[in-house]
């Protein structure tokens, strides 16, 4: 059972009271709605009508509601069980544009559904690929999930973007009020205000936008004129398929999968104070839900769906990670499908307000990724895995036209900072795995000088394996105490051979020597330990048993063995 971290107000299995639950769901909806700009961009890029745009947005909301439920249920291998809403996936933008330009909306819907099928198939094999995601790769993916969103978040924050290259003073004021209010509510508030920091900040942002004129009369009129209730207009053109576009959409699937892995690992970590490594079985269920969401989107006539990093960041910032919030998010999305006036309140959201929300959320994502990276020991190999991944990932996001000269089939990999960083991390990690053995050995002589040899050995192998520092410290101390005991008792007739094996689940040490077997049975400290001339001979035994999770001794053919195991 996961241990709830102290900074969480509502853990994944806890249900907030009704009113807080609705308000928390409403906060998440603001972020979910901001992702609806992606299908609008795609339809407008090919000269689609306002009716086509409205239909794609509506069906995307419906698909997002279904996808959010699928991700949350965690039943029969479907879903992760975490608060990780489904939104229009930015990974789909490039391939979706290519599909619409090639064969219209029918091809977009058919290829989106096909991509979802491919992702569901891939999810069934993911749990066998854990070796591809050691901690340094996992940390890079999580960190880049946040960093990749920074450009569009900052553009919105300062009120610039397509067709609006100038940031106005009024927009900066709105951004400062919105983000400042959110941060103040998170850092200095007492009681439950932290739960609603985003909602409070957005209300302040809307008010500031209205006062400064950023929220103009046209936007307000759009809200007023929107009908209270209406059935969505069905304009589905059907489905088509083009094998030539399969590779770009497969690449989209991989990019989306890497992002979802990062999101779900973050969910696992923030909900478990004792988190040690990714639960790939749980992540496989999450990827399956992700793929099914894309299938649903393609069938309904919406844009491909993926998990929302910003929503995960919001749950960290507010301290509310209850899965019950996800069901509220899905319910509100369903309501929005039939209530255009309520949807219009989100549609007219000022860009600085939207950017402030995303900046607030991704801050927590980036820091969580860095914490994952630094939770393990690092050597030169792992330093290059992390460093090169960040360098090339950031280059893809910073250099205009980074992927322009590449073949259209592989461009989707290189237009995203996240996908470039992830592919770099995976490739460099696989290359650097060459030459790293799961078993290492050390020969020690009783007497003096062994502490330095033990320390140097475990620092070297711990960094190469990417082991948790606290486990390596305990192993160092246990072997040091074992050698102290061998020296005190004179048990070894020669050198002590120390064999160490590492897996993600355990660190196992077997010490072998010729001589007398050691008595490592548990006992109490002698009563005269602190007296002059006290008996210290049992102290190393007690310390060894304190450091190691399992201690065993045996003797075969005159060779004594001590087996120490440390859970990892």
The larger pLDDT score, comparing residue 361 to residue 490, is at 490
Residue 190 confidence class, pLDDT cut points 50, 70, 90: low
DSSP 373-387: HHTS---HHHHHHHH
Q: Which segment of 177-186, 323-332, 412-421 scores lowest on mean pLDDT?
A: 412-421
> pLDDT per residue over 136-179, tens digit each?
888 888 888 788 778 878 888 898 865 667 788 999 999 999 99
Q: 457 or 365: whose pLDDT is higher?
A: 457
- Whether residue 533 is predicted with pLDDT greater than 70 in this model: the reply is no
- Residue 96's pLDDT is 86
State the Cα–Cα distance between residues 303 and 228, nearest whole angstrom: 25
Lowest mean pLDDT among 323-327, 428-432, 519-523: 519-523
DSSP H stretches of helix in 10-134: 18-34, 37-45, 50-73, 93-123
Nearest to 175 by CA among 357, 439, 373: 357
If you average pLDDT over every residue of the chain, what do you get? 86
pLDDT score recorded for residue 526: 53
Question: What is the reported pLDDT for 523?
Answer: 63
Q: Is the pLDDT of residue 403 over 80?
A: no
- The mean pLDDT value for 385-414 works out to 81
236: Cβ–Cβ under 8 A, 6 or more apart, which residues? 55, 109, 300, 301
Per-residue confidence (pLDDT) for residue 220, from 0 to 100: 87
Mean pLDDT of 514-532: 68
Among the residue ranges 171-175, 208-212, 226-230, 295-299, the one predicted with the least confidence is: 226-230
What is the fold of 439-567? Answer: Heat Shock Protein 90 (3.30.565)
How many Cβ atoms sit within 10 Å of the Cβ of residue 565?
Answer: 17
Summarize the confidence of residues 510-537 as an average pLDDT. 70
Q: What per-residue string of b and e applies to 244-261 under the rule 16 or more CB within 10 Å gives b?
A: ebeebbbbbbbbbbbbbb
Task: Please say if the pLDDT value at position 437 is more than 80.
Answer: no
Q: What percent of the chain has pLDDT over 70?
A: 94
Between 435 and 529, the higher pLDDT residue = 435
Q: Residue ranges of the domains in the chain? A: 18-432, 439-567
pLDDT of amino acid 556: 85
Please give the helix or strand (H or E) that residue 562 lies within, else none: strand 559-567
Q: Tell me the pLDDT tens digit for each residue of 45-93.
A: 677 776 787 888 889 999 999 999 999 998 889 999 999 999 988 778 7
pLDDT at position 534 is 47
pLDDT in tens, 306-322: 998 889 988 998 899 99
* pLDDT for residue 400: 78
Q: Which pLDDT value is given to residue 293?
A: 96
- Asked which of 37-51, 127-141, 243-257, 478-492 is least confident by mean pLDDT, the reply is 37-51
Crossing angle between the packed helical segments 197-212 and 18-34, to the nearest 10 degrees: 60
pLDDT grade for 474, boundaries at 50, 70 and 90? very high
pLDDT over threshold 60, residue 532? no
Q: What percent of the chain has pLDDT over 90?
A: 40
The confidence band for 473, taking pLDDT boundaries of 50, 70 and 90, is very high
Q: What is the mean pLDDT of the segment spanning 237-245?
A: 88
């Amino acid at each position: 059972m996961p241990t709830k971290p102290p900074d969480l107000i509502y853990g994944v299995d806890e249900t907030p009271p009704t009113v807080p639950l609705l308000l928390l769901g409403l906060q998440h909806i603001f972020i979910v709605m901001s992702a609806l700009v992606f299908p609008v961009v795609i339809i407008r890029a090919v000269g689609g009508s306002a009716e086509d745009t409205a239909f794609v947005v509506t069906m995307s909301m419906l698909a997002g509601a279904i996808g959010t439920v699928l991700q949350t249920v965690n039943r029969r291998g479907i879903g992760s069980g975490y608060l990780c809403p489904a939104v229009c996936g930015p990974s789909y933008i490039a391939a979706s544009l290519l599909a619409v330009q090639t064969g219209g909306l029918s091809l977009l819907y058919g290829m989106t559904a096909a991509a979802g099928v491919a992702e569901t198939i891939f999810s069934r094999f993911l749990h066998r690929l854990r070796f591809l995601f050691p901690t340094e790769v996992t940390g890079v993916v999580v960190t880049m999930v946040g960093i990749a969103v920074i450009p569009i978040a900052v553009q919105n924050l300062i009120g610039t973007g397509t067709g609006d290259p100038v940031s106005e003073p009024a927009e900066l004021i709105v951004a400062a009020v919105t983000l400042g209010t959110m941060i103040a509510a998170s850092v200095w508030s007492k009681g439950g205000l932290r739960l609603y920091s985003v909602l409070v900040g957005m209300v302040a942002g809307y008010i500031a936008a209205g006062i400064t004129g950023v929220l103009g009369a046209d936007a307000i009129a759009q809200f007023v004129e929107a009908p209270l209730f209406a059935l969505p207009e069905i304009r589905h053109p059907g489905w088509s398929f083009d094998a030539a576009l399969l590779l770009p959409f497969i690449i989209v699937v991989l990019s989306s999968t890497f992002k979802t892995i990062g999101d779900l690992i973050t969910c696992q970590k923030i909900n478990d104070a004792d988190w040690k490594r990714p639960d790939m079985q749980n992540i496989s269920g999450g990827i399956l839900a992700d793929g099914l969401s894309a299938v649903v989107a393609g069938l309904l006539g919406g844009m491909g769906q993926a998990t929302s990093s910003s929503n995960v960041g919001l749950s960290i910032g507010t301290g509310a990670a209850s899965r019950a919030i996800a069901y509220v998010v899905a319910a509100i999305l369903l309501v929005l499908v039939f209530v255009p006036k309520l949807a219009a309140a989100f549609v007219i959201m000022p860009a600085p307000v939207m950017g402030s929300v995303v900046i607030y959320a991704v801050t927590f994502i980036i820091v969580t990724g860095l914490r994952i990276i630094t939770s393990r020991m690092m050597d030169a190999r792992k330093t290059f895995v992390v460093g090169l991944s960040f360098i090339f990932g950031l280059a893809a996001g910073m250099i205009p036209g980074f992927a322009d000269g590449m073949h259209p089939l592989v461009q989707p990999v290189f237009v995203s900072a996240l996908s470039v960083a992830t592919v770099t991390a995976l490739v460099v990690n696989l290359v650097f795995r060459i030459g790293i053995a799961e078993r290492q050995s050390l020969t020690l002589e009783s007497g003096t000088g062994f502490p330095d040899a033990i320390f140097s050995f475990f620092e070297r192998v711990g960094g190469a394996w990417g082991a948790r520092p606290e486990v390596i410290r305990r192993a160092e101390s246990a072997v040091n105490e074992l050698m102290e005991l061998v020296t005190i008792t004179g048990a070894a007739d020669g050198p002590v051979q120390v064999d160490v094996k590492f897996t993600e689940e355990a660190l196992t040490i077997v010490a072998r020597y010729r001589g007398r077997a050691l008595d490592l049975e548990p006992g109490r400290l002698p009563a005269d330990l602190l007296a002059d001339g006290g008996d210290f001979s049992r102290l190393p035994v007690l310390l060894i048993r304190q450091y190691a999770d399992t201690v065993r001794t045996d003797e075969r053919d005159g060779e004594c063995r001590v087996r120490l195991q440390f859970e990892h």
